[in-house]
């Protein structure tokens, strides 16, 4: 049972480059989300999706784009990387937005923008 699969695990980008972080889950979860983790800040929500074809912005959406064409996949695109986007990124999924549902996390992507 794969759960939430996130790739790549590590990435170095030059300022201005674009890239896509991949996220896939095999649990048929409706709710998927992307967080970034910065030292001393906990995790902050970037974008989320409540189902295929439906996405919305979270707390820190600027510089990121998402789409949800299938239930399984929820890629995160960095449009033009900036050093401020150096962070650890986590994809998470849960069965629903119900407060009693656990979120399952991917392994994380450590991104460095130089």
Q: Which residues pair with 31 in a beta bridge?
A: 94
Count of residues touching another protein (by CB under 8 A): 32
* 3-state SS record for 14-32: CCCCCEEEEEEECCCCCEE
Q: Taking CB under 8 A as the rule, does residue 57 contact another protein?
A: yes
Counting beta carbons within 10 angstroms of the beta carbon of residue 28, is it exposed (0 to 12), middle (13 to 18) or buried (19 or more)? exposed
DSSP-derived 3-state class of residue 72: coil
Is 100 an interacting residue with respect to another protein (CB under 8 A)? yes
- Looking at 13-21, 39-47, 63-71, 72-80, which segment touches another protein (CB under 8 A)? 39-47
| Of residues 48 and 113, the one with the C-beta less far from another protein | 48
Give the residues lining the site for another protein (CB under 8 A): 31, 33, 35, 40-45, 48, 50, 56-59, 88, 90, 92, 94, 96-105, 107-108, 110
């Amino acid at each position: 049972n794969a759960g939430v699969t996130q790739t790549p695990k590590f990435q170095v980008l030059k300022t201005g480059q674009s890239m896509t972080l991949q996220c896939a889950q095999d649990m048929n979860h409706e709710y998927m989300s992307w967080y970034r983790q910065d030292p001393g800040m906990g995790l902050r929500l970037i974008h989320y999706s409540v189902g295929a074809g439906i996405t919305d912005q979270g707390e820190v959406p600027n510089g990121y784009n998402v789409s949800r064409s299938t239930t399984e996949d929820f890629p995160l695109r960095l449009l033009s990387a900036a050093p401020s986007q150096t962070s650890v990124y986590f994809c998470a999924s849960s069965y629903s937005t119900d407060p009693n549902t656990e979120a399952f996390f991917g392994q994380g992507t450590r991104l460095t923008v130089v």
